[in-house]
Structures are given as C-alpha cells and as structure tokens.
Amino acid sequence: MTGSKRCLIAGNWKMNGLLQEARDFIAAFGSNPAPESVEIALMPPFTLLHPMSAQLAEMQIELGAQNVYYEDKGAFTGSICPLMLRDAGCHYVILGHSERRSIIGESNAQIRSKLNASWLHGLEPILCIGETLEQRERGITNMVLAEQLAVLKGAPKNAPLTIAYEPVWAIGTGVTATKEQVTETHAFVHEELTRLGHDCRVLYGGSVNPGNAEELLSCPGVEGALVGGASLKADSFMQIVKAAINVAS
C-alpha cells in the first residue's frame, strides 16, 4: 500500500446473487465491525442494489454497480443510467471489465463515454484493465495496458477514480500472477497514471482468495483487491478483508 490512499476490498458478484442469498450474506457478514483502515465495497447485480443499499450503508460498506450506460434517460431498452445508480445508493461503478470487453465487445470509446457520464453524476468508476495470456506471452502487456489507460487522456485530473489491474488469464481460473508480475505491472500502471496526470488507487484482481490475499496485497503498488468468486461467501470475503487489515497495520 503506497501513500495515504485507503485500501479498498471490493466484491464483484458478477451475474450471481438472488434476494435470499443477499440476505444471508448480510446476516453473516454484518456481525463483523467495519474496519477503519480498509474500505469495503460490494457490487451485486442491478436487481440487488436497492434491496441491499440501506443495510450495506449501515454496515459502512459502499455499494457499486457492475456497469452503466452513458445516456441520462430515454429509449435505451435494458440500460441503466448513472442517476439510477445514484438513486439506488451507489458510490462505485465498475467499467471496462474484461468480461464486458470480450463477451459484449465493449470498446475503449464506449468506456470513455461511460467514464464521463459516471463523473457527471458523482459516481466513482473502477476502471478495469488487463492483458490476455497471449498478449503477456507476446511481451506486449505494457502496450495493452497503456492503450486501455489512454481512455483517461483529457479526463479531469481530480475526478474520482480507481483502477483495477486484472490479468485476464487470472480471472476465475485459480491462477494468480506471481508477486514479481504483480509488482512489476503495478509499477508500470502507476507510472502511466502519473504520466496521464492521475494519482489514484490501483487494485489487483484475478483469483484473489483468503489463501493468497495477504501476499498479493503486500506487493508494492497494490492498494486493494477486486474480488470475484471469493466475494460471494461472507466468510471468505471477510477473510480477505482481514488480510487487508493485517497488511495495512
């Protein structure tokens, strides 16, 4: 953890979670007092934002969404706008997740529009970047990350922003990047952000679990984690939060 930026442990539930599961999660997680040194956030599916909002706020857990559309309102069937996310109590929105880039075909231009719309309505984007295994093996990881970060060119310098570096080959695979890979890549991401005029938190994501969290969070330049699978169970998510508390102390 570098500087005075508070470590963030964010749970991305992806397309998982029914109402009863959300209730069970809150009941199990709620008995733990909110730590001072670590910020916690949850990104459930859209259908659970309103139902979870009040209780998460009481537990001092920030709420976030997994995507947003860039128009304010109108005939955009199936889309959710930034104001709707604010209305549901969201502080964060994940943008540019590799699953949206690869499955939905989301482009950097669309991601930039979503960044602008999020900032306009007071949301803090968590911008995801990451290389595929093929790109890493070809030695073009930094080039790919620089291209993805280029969506920040010309963006307001003081706009709230968190970056999540998620090597695509480590997402949901049980394979994590080595400490060396994480340290080296986070150093590059921080350098690139400085060049673009942004001093923001950089999270690591990709198969973070209770067994590897402390090691990953201890790497220089890692200021939190974006957790997928291991955030679905209150117990494993809390263990990751505890690992972050240990690293922060």
Ligand X SMILES: O=C[C@H](O)COP(=O)(O)O
The residue ranges that bind ligand X (CB under 6 A) are 12, 97, 166, 171-172, 205-208, 226-230
First CA to last CA distance, the chain? 10
Phi-psi region of 57 (alpha: psi -120 to 50; beta: other; left: phi over 0): alpha
Q: Is 137 a catalytic residue?
A: no
Q: Residue 92: phi, psi to the nearest 5?
A: -110, 155
Tell me the binding residues for substrate.
12-14, 172, 207, 228-229
Q: Is 97 a catalytic residue?
A: yes
Q: Which of 166, 186, 198, 223 is catalytic?
A: 166
Tell me the binding residues.
12-14, 172, 207, 228-229
Q: Of 166 and 192, which has the nearer Cβ to ligand X?
A: 166
Q: How many residues does the chain have?
A: 249
DSSP conformation class of 77:
T
Q: Which of 97, 121, 190, 198 is catalytic?
A: 97
**Chain position whose Cβ is nearest to ligand X:** 228
Tell me the closest approach of the beta carbon of residue 185 to ligand X, in angstroms: 15
Q: Residue 16 in contact with residue 45, Cβ under 8 Å?
A: yes
CA-to-CA distance for 103 and 135, rounded, in angstroms? Answer: 18
Q: Of 97 and 114, which has the nearer Cβ to ligand X?
A: 97
Catalytically active residues, by annotation? 97, 166
